[in-house]
Structure 1
Amino acid sequence: MNRTPHPQGVADGPPLGDIAHLGHVELLTPDPDRSLWFFTTLLGLTENGRSGDSVHLRTWDDYEHHSLTLTAHRTSGIRRTALRVSGEDALRRRVEALENAGHGGHWAEDEPGIGPLYVTRDPDGHELALYGESEWYGAPPELKPGLKNQPQAKPAHGVGVRRLDHVNFLAADVEPDAVFTRDCLGARSTEQIVLDTGRLAAQWLTFTNKSCDIVYTEDWSGSHARLHHIAFATDTREDILRAADLCLDNGVHIETGPHKHAIQQTFFLYVYEPGGNRIELCNPLTRLVLAPDWPLITWTQAERAKGQAWGLKTIESFHTHGTPPVD
């Protein structure tokens, strides 16, 4: 049988597998009490310990100690994004690849429930940490689930987000960060935006069979190491509609949505948590990419100008708001 190649070509990158999945992120907030309220009362995360100025939170379907660390800080933004590797050999290969490419880091043991982390930075300056050892969560009696293959009972309040889905970084130059994530971390590119000038404006990358785990988007300000958003997956679209009502009732700023993306095809809602960081709620849980020869889908500037899947134009702040804020 003759095999017909996809007209857009096949996505670049080494075989998947060394990075098992996106582990957790650390968000900075200048309003820690209100941010904690947002993530626990409104989104339904569970507190699972504190370290200094940090609170460790978890989604109900996460098997690890925490999904999010919320740290009091003078400003908003993201500090660390942690990736769990699939084993000691995988960790060795990724550390070797990082050091050979000039992105060497250091070892740290500074998070509860997590073994040694190899801490490095991408070309734009975002802090990334790789780890293998992880403590499986044991729910206390009041959070015991009805099903033994579920780590924790679903929350009876708020939105009840299921898991941390992906991180969207802002970068002064997207291309070197995309190359770094592919070549050093072993990700695969799934979709991208290329401007009429030929400049890469955004790229979506995955370590798994999800359509994305990490995204890089061009920072209009030319700044480095900023955050566009982190995303949490919900069980249903109805959860996102409920989230919109809860945000409306509680004075949480809704930036855009509910609506449907063209890229990644997720139903979405974007809000600003009280500390100023943009949060996305998305459903379905990030689309699966099962094809081993998945094509790298390229969107043009004209195609993106049409807006989202059902015609909603992208709101201006989506291009200008990032954290920490810039003058």
Structure 2
Amino acid sequence: MIIEKIDTFGGHRDCVYTLETGLQSNQFFSAGADGLIVRWRLDRPDLGELVANIPASVYALALHPVSGLLWVGQNYEGIHLIDTLNKQEVGSLKLTSAAIFDIKFYKNDAFIALSDGVVAVLDAEQMAAKKYLKASDQSARCLAINPVERELAVGYSDKSIRIFDLTTYDLKRVIPAHTNSVFTLAYSPDFRFLLSAGRDAHLKVWNVEKNYDLQNDIVAHLFAINHLTFSPDGHLVATASMDKSIKIWDADTYRLLKVVDRARHAGHGTSVNKLLWTDYHQELLSASDDRTISVWKISQ
């Protein structure tokens, strides 16, 4: 496996916390502690374009697949809907005074993970609250959706993963998953497995078809794992850590294939917060506390 750093996107004035796909495969959005929402082009790294300026940190971005609007979670305020083509805010909802950690969509529902332990369910068209799922007093940090089983997985700071029914919103299962906060979740592309990771630096694999039985427990990093993602073809998994490294794993065997760090690949000098594996030449993006976004080409 060959890892090549293609580009570095700079321009943010503070830590970059989140990345999201753009309206076209060669575009993506970034946001972070400076409140700037920036659109980038992978074929033109010099063309960063400000689409919105939010007066607070942003941990969560989500592109709505139907409307094409970018949902922005403004910490301690609520949700902003941005028409990125016209660079205009077209809607907002003062949802909460809590921090917003994640946003995911399923059919006409938007699920919002909040630092007060609530997962808010919104009607995505009407921008109206439908339900508040309160299953913990500690932060709901991350979300993952399984449309096959019609399940929503939520990772919490109380070390647990909770599984909710996507249709009834009922709590179906509580998994005592980690020894510290769960920061990131992802279902495998075939939805047979759920991957989880977080502050305890372990990567865990849960078998969905066997009642979320633990299949694999890997000591994957030195410090907290902030994010994990699958490659578009489903063959690889990438993890990003507070230990400043990105690791590439085989998605079938979970064997470690490559460590991407500063010493070996001119990687990030501080915590790696978010990954985005694009369909554009399958390039992998990483966002960091060092205020930059790196673009990686991975060849096997």
State whether TM-score is above 0.5: no
Q: Which has the higher contact order (CA 8 A, sep 6+)?
A: 1
TM-score, structure 1 normalization: 0.29
Larger radius of gyration: 1
TM-score, structure 2 normalization: 0.31
Q: Which has the higher strand share?
A: 2
Q: Which has the higher helix share?
A: 1
